A and B are shown apart, each in its own frame.
Chain A
């Protein structure tokens, strides 16, 4: 059990899903891979396919168009996996909440598929890369209890 958790903690692969973000959060996510933050120190990689991923990094408000696609993305991931809702929009749709084209917020969208999904919230508009690393550090503590 300990080995399983250790391996998952040390090798979180991230799939990045944009569900209608303004691209500001996405730029901050990419910052994590630059020499300044370099999350590969913790074994984190950006992967191309949700099938390979352990972390679903969601940015954006989750529009009606994106909602079923985000759910499909989550279904395609091998469990156990973690969802990172990055930015004010992904946390609670931000200032766009009353707009006409909104789906449900990211956490509700994911919970409609899997009520027990692990969802981490990273507030900020956009959140700093440090905040995202802090969220991942909290996720490690959570994985220990899995």
Chain B
């Protein structure tokens, strides 16, 4: 029975995150179109894209290692859905959260980029290998600032590593964001989220006009659909992580839900606007930006938070 409940939660989280993620993808494209004075795609666009890809042929490059190439997108999607399930469980029922599940979620959220690297390396394409090496550098650069930003949330939540505890503590004692350290941490976290989503200032791994979609260059048909779905789920999940750790989670009242939706949409809008108003950085500029710019900012935020600011 317990097992069935776990499977049920997982499936519900998968379907729900996929729906939210598709809507988020559409929102992203529509806002982009509005920024550029265009009309933009209709609301069902991401659904049509994924459906179309599922009906198309799967091409296998002759140089590819089949297993890794085909399994990687599926594992990435599964890990993103698992992270989403844990975050939703902590949001809706803080009691089910266990000690240290923040660490597990962060760990799970590293898997999709890792799987991207694996799939790209297995495809045997020089553009993809270039993209994979860039994705690797990108992970190395943004993970540390992201950890530091989440640590600020941990400190504000009373040094607890459970997602449920953090959200409850912040609802009782005041949200982490509404303090100096919280604001700094949020800035760092949003930019790290941007990099994790592979959105424009940090999309060197794909770089469509430079290395032809880089890591995804050899994917076609259903595997590409899985990649799109994985990215949609990630887009629905990362704002949740920020809301749980830094922005007080979800209060189970009508107004609380409204505030939650507002926070979610605001974070999505920020990601879209950053992506639309910035050019792509070079990979060395990105590493410098994260290590010498955001990591010290994150350390400062942690020190301020520990000092009680």
Q: Tell me the chain A residues, 52-110 only, with Cβ under 8 Å from chain B.
A: 52, 54, 76-80
Asked if B269 is at the interface of the complex by the 8 Å CB criterion, the answer is no
Asked if A144 is at the interface of the complex by the 8 Å CB criterion, the answer is no
Is there contact, CB below 8 Å, between A79 and B56? yes
Is there contact, CB below 8 Å, between A40 and B224? no
- A-contact 0/1 string along B21-62, CB 8 Å cutoff: 000000001000100111111101100110110011111000
Q: How far is the CA of A35 from the CA of B33 in the complex (A)?
A: 8
A5 to chain B minimum Cβ distance, whole angstroms, is 9
From B40, B58, B209, B224, give the contact of A41 (CB < 8 A): B40
From A35, A38, A47, A79, give the contact of B213 (CB < 8 A): A47
Asked if B165 is at the interface of the complex by the 8 Å CB criterion, the answer is no
B198 to chain A minimum Cβ distance, whole angstroms, is 14
- B-contact 0/1 string along A4-41, CB 8 Å cutoff: 10111011000000000000000000000001001011
Is there contact, CB below 8 Å, between A10 and B219? no
Report chain A residues within 8 Å CB of B57. Answer: 78-79
Interface residues on chain A, number (Cβ under 8 Å): 23
Is there contact, CB below 8 Å, between B212 and A78? no
Asked if A138 is at the interface of the complex by the 8 Å CB criterion, the answer is no
Q: How far is the CA of A23 from the CA of B58 in the complex (A)?
A: 33
Interface residues on chain B, number (Cβ under 8 Å): 31
Asked if A111 is at the interface of the complex by the 8 Å CB criterion, the answer is no
A61 to chain B minimum Cβ distance, whole angstroms, is 24
Known contacts: A40-B38, A48-B209, A78-B57. The answer to whether A10 contacts B44 by CB under 8 A is yes
Q: Tell me the chain B residues, 214-231 only, with Cβ under 8 Å from chain A.
A: 216-221, 224
Closest to A5 in B: B55
Q: How far is the CA of A41 from the CA of B48 in the complex (A)?
A: 13
Is there contact, CB below 8 Å, between A6 and B48? yes
Report chain A residues within 8 Å CB of B284. Answer: none
Known contacts: A49-B217, A78-B59. The answer to whether A8 contacts B38 by CB under 8 A is no
From B29, B33, B41, B213, give the contact of A52 (CB < 8 A): B213
Q: How far is the CA of A118 from the CA of B44 in the complex (A)?
A: 26
Closest to A80 in B: B56
Closest to B33 in A: A40
Known contacts: A78-B56, A78-B57. The answer to whether A49 contacts B216 by CB under 8 A is yes
Is there contact, CB below 8 Å, between A48 and B37? no
Residue among A47, A52, A79 having the largest count of chain B Cβ atoms under 10 Å: A52
Is there contact, CB below 8 Å, between A38 and B42? no
Report chain A residues within 8 Å CB of B29. Answer: 40
From B45, B59, B209, give the contact of A43 (CB < 8 A): B45
Report chain A residues within 8 Å CB of B55. Answer: 4, 7-8
From A40, A49, A77, give the contact of B41 (CB < 8 A): A40
From B45, B51, B216, give the contact of A3 (CB < 8 A): B51
Known contacts: A11-B52, A38-B38, A40-B33. The answer to whether A48 contacts B217 by CB under 8 A is yes
Is there contact, CB below 8 Å, between B217 and A11? no
Known contacts: A47-B213, A52-B220, A52-B224. The answer to whether A11 contacts B37 by CB under 8 A is no
Given A11-B49, A38-B39, A51-B59, 9 more contacts at CB 8 Å?
A6-B48, A7-B52, A7-B55, A10-B48, A10-B52, A11-B52, A40-B29, A40-B40, A54-B52
Counting from the closest, the 5 A-B pairs by CB-CB distance are A7-B51, A7-B52, A10-B48, A78-B220, A48-B212
Tell me the A residues contacting B by CB distance below 8 Å: 3-4, 6-8, 10-11, 35, 38, 40-41, 43, 47-49, 51-52, 54, 76-80
30 contacts between A and B (CB under 8 A): A6-B48, A7-B48, A7-B51, A7-B52, A7-B55, A11-B48, A35-B37, A35-B38, A38-B39, A40-B29, A40-B33, A40-B38, A40-B39, A41-B41, A43-B48, A48-B208, A48-B212, A48-B217, A49-B213, A49-B217, A49-B218, A51-B59, A51-B217, A51-B219, A51-B220, A52-B213, A52-B224, A78-B56, A78-B221, A79-B56
